[in-house]
């Protein structure tokens, strides 16, 4: 039998009053089970990070803390975002191992035990990977497949079908804290940390209550953040297509001059219009792509704090 470990379960919460009471119940049961089986120590914690919720989320966390002292809370001064809330939890809690999970518990908490087992086998990082996506809408499913394919094409190492349900050892969290970037896309940062890692597979459930805190707009911005902070490939592609387009334009110019010299030029409104619209479109698109990177640099150089803690329950 392995020695019990000090575990911290980190849960970011943004307007989760509908689902939180049920999640607290389930997590408390898991906590009691793990302790009974001597897998975790008595000073293990469940830490909720209130990410600037406008509903009763913080009151629910406070009440839970009053009833059970192993339930802790960190209240951020405003809404910073999911990834930022995760870091606030990881960097302000002391534990031997950390497991991050979403407040709606769509990810299966039964995977926690196998994750800890992998830690004892020497893994510093254990990725929770969903084996099916049939609880997702067709749109979310196909956009996810497309996104993973695109990221692979762009040379970004990602664990497919893994979001932010994972185990990190203290060593992995310390190593992660040396990544100072502000454009947080944790699922691509974590593999860069290295160390021995493995996956645990589970089935993801539907959200039990409340609605998603990742509407389409946030999803697109998150995907752009992932691309612009992990791959310079789009910039290389712009250069490459610039070279191809210039070569073609040069050939076109020779052909035009030849036509002029041989007297076979015609008044070509259609071809002129096509060329203008095509090239203006491409120019604006390329400027936009470069703009994404400039925006990324803009955020990094300002070096603003990733999160601000207003109060803590410990």
When asked if residue 12 is in the footprint of ligand UDP (CB under 6 A), the reply is yes
How many residues touch ligand UDP under the rule CB under 6 A: the total is 16
- The one among 28, 35, 41, 79 contacting ligand UDP by CB under 6 A: 79
When asked if residue 73 is in the footprint of ligand UDP (CB under 6 A), the reply is no
When asked if residue 15 is in the footprint of Mg ion (CB under 5 A), the reply is no
Site for ligand UDP in 206-225 (CB under 6 A): 212-214
- 91: burial class by Cβ within 10 Å (0-12, 13-18, 19+)? middle
62 C-beta neighbours (distance < 10 Å), count:
17
Backbone angles phi, psi at 63, to 5 degrees: -65, -40
Least Å distance, CB 59 to ligand UDP, is 16
User: Whose Cβ is closer to Mg ion: residue 44's or residue 106's?
Assistant: 106
Q: What's the 3-state SS for 272-297?
A: HHHHHHHHHHHHHHHHHHHHHHHHHH
Residue 57 interacts with, from ligand UDP, Mg ion, none (CB under 5-8 Å by kind) = none
Least Å distance, CB 36 to ligand UDP, is 27
Query: Residues 97-136 vs Mg ion: string with x where CB under 5 A?
Result: -----x-x-x------------------------------
Q: What's the 3-state SS for 14-74?
A: CCCCCCHHHHHHHHHHHHHHHHHCCCECCCCEEEEEECCCCCCHHHHHHHHHHHCCCEEEE
Least Å distance, CB 201 to ligand UDP, is 18
Whole-number Cα distances in Å, 177 to 1, 92, 265, 307? 32, 11, 65, 14
Whole-number Cα distances in Å, 104 to 12, 28, 162? 10, 14, 16
Least Å distance, CB 105 to Mg ion, is 9
User: Whose Cβ is closer to ligand UDP: residue 177's or residue 212's?
Assistant: 212
- The one among 72, 82, 118, 187 contacting ligand UDP by CB under 6 A: 82
- 94: burial class by Cβ within 10 Å (0-12, 13-18, 19+)? exposed
- The one among 7, 31, 44, 81 contacting ligand UDP by CB under 6 A: 81
When asked if residue 176 is in the footprint of ligand UDP (CB under 6 A), the reply is no
Residue 51 interacts with, from Mg ion, ligand UDP, none (CB under 5-8 Å by kind) = ligand UDP
User: Whose Cβ is closer to ligand UDP: residue 118's or residue 225's?
Assistant: 225
C-alpha 297 chain-centroid distance: 19
Query: Tokens 């994972």, residue?
Result: 166
230 C-beta neighbours (distance < 10 Å), count:
21
Kindly indicate which of the ranges 10-18, 26-34, 175-183, 233-241 contains the residues binding ligand UDP, using the contact rule CB under 6 A: 10-18
- What tokens does 286 get? 């390329």
Binding residues (CB under 5 A) for Mg ion: these are 102, 104, 106
Binding residues (CB under 6 A) for ligand UDP: these are 12-14, 16, 51, 79, 81-82, 85, 102-104, 106, 212-214
């Amino acid at each position: 039998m392995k020695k019990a470990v000090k575990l911290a379960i980190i849960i970011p919460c943004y307007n989760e009053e509908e689902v939180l009471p049920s999640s607290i119940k389930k997590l408390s049961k898991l906590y009691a089970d793990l302790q009974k089986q001597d897998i975790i120590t008595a000073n293990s914690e469940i830490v909720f990070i209130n990410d600037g919720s406008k509903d009763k989320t913080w009151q629910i966390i406070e009440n839970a803390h009053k009833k059970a002292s192993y339930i802790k809370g960190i209240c951020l001064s405003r809404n910073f975002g999911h990834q930022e809330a995760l870091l606030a939890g990881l960097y302000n809690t002391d534990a031997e191992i950390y497991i991050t999970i979403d407040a709606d518990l769509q990810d299966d908490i039964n995977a926690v035990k196998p994750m800890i087992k992998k830690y004892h086998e020497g893994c510093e990082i254990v990725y929770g990977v969903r084996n099916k996506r049939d609880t997702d809408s067709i749109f979310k499913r196909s956009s996810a497949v497309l996104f993973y394919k695109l990221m692979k094409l762009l040379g970004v190492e990602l664990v497919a079908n893994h979001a932010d349900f994972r185990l990190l050892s203290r060593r992995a969290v310390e190593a992660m804290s040396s990544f100072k970037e502000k454009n947080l896309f944790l699922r691509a940062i974590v593999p860069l940390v290295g160390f021995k890692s493995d996956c645990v597979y589970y089935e993801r459930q539907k959200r039990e209550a409340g609605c998603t805190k990742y509407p389409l707009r946030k999803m697109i911005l998150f995907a752009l953040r992932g691309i612009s902070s992990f791959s310079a490939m789009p910039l290389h592609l712009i250069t490459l297509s610039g070279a191809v387009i210039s070569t073609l334009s040069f050939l076109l110019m020779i052909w035009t001059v030849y036509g002029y010299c041989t007297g076979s030029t015609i008044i070509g409104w259609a071809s002129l219009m096509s060329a203008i619209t095509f090239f203006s479109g491409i120019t604006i698109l390329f400027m936009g792509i470069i703009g994404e990177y400039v925006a990324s640099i803009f955020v990094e150089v300002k070096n603003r704090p990733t999160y601000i803690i207003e109060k803590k329950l410990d």
